[in-house]
Amino acid sequence: MFDFQIVTTWFDNLLRQTLGLGDFWSILIECVMVGLIILTIYALIAMFMIFFERKVCAWFQCRLGPMRVGPWGVFQVLADVLKMLIKEIFGVDRSDKFLYALAPCLTIVASVGTFSFLPWNKGAQVLDFNVGVFMITAISSIGVLGVILSGWGSNNKYSVVSAMRGAVQMISYEMSLGLCMVIAVVLCGTMQLSGIVEAQTGPWKWLIIQGHIPAIVAFCIFLIAGNAEANRGPFDLAEAESELTAGYHTEYSGMGFGYFYLAEYLNLVVISGLAAAIFLGGWAPLNIGVDGFDAVMNYIPGFVWFIGKTLAVIWVLMWVRWTFPRLRIDHILILEWKYLMPLTLITLVVMTACVSLGLTF
């Protein structure tokens, strides 16, 4: 398995030793390059996700999807991006100008911050703190502020109702989402995301295998809670078009709306990437203890494994969105507080007992 730390260490030595730059300029150049790489990958993935979901939606509805702009409609997203960039950004009368402008920024900051934790390959992770799970939970909660402030700052009754729905839903499902990650921490013995992936390298070491039934239950709860956290159907009550126009971003235009649109798709990628990293081994290959098979699997690059697993989870979540009808807000909260939350706590206790008694694979 190739370690990208070889590349990063070489580049750091190039700046410090070969070019003779000091600590300040070396760190500054590295941070700028990492930031540009993150933003570039962020934008490219967002465009791919928009096109991917349109095609998946069309497939489930027995149609073709966008086909006119470019071959198979591949340039349709570029046309939409261009249209959004040149649209007029208008203001809203009697709105809170500061909160109105701040809300999209908070949403995109939370999305980019959590996106930076994804472990694409061994050594290819921008942020890798020893309390990574805690940091992911803390940064993702900033997105709730973006939802609340966008509704309140717009001075629109539909946006306010939407923001209240979205905030209640996201805060509620963050509990189950965080506890599912705690279950993985109990099994792996570390809060560092790279450490959790490292603990899943080896024959039959993916967490849903070595943690067996409790880990599988936690994985399913994580997908449900993550779908709700990302405001994706059937949990998209905050953006219920038949009731609330466009929800909390009704009064936004141009890139103000574009930030919310990008964040929604990238939050789906983040949730799916975390599910792949925490429960499906991340960049770790599938090893079953057979030398020939394991050797072939180890030849596949780690980022290919991670991207493949992430796309598989994304496809499942899109399948759910385009299959099930939208739930009522009271049903969404009942599902979390009466069913998912108690089940998650029971699963945490069972996982702790399994680890203490050595009943894991």
pLDDT digits (tens, 9 = 90+) for 237-259: 777 766 667 778 888 888 888 88
Cα(296)–Cα(284) distance, integer angstroms: 13
**Are the CB atoms for 146 and 100 separated by under 8 Å?**
no
pLDDT exceeds 70 at position 361: yes
Please choose, from the candidates 102, 165, 157, 127, the residue with its C-alpha nearest in 3D space to the C-alpha of residue 35. 127
| Three-state secondary structure call for residue 247 | helix
Structure tokens at 38: 């993150």
Q: What is the pLDDT of residue 58?
A: 92
Percentage of residues in the chain having pLDDT higher than 90: 35
Show the beta-strand stretches assigned E in 263-324: none
Cα(337)–Cα(6) distance, integer angstroms: 46
Tell me the sheet residues that pair with 287: 203
How confident is residue 1, by pLDDT bands cut at 50, 70 and 90?
A: low
Cα(268)–Cα(182) distance, integer angstroms: 20
Mean pLDDT of the 18-24 span: 83
**Dihedral sign for Cα atoms in the order 355, 181, 113, 232:** positive
Task: State the Rg of the chain over Cα.
Answer: 21
Q: What is the pLDDT of residue 312?
A: 95
pTM here? 0.92
Q: What is the pLDDT of residue 252?
A: 84
Q: What distances in angstroms separate CA 220 from CA 158, 177, 279, 343, one per listed residue?
A: 33, 11, 10, 11
**Are the CB atoms for 224 and 304 separated by under 8 Å?**
no
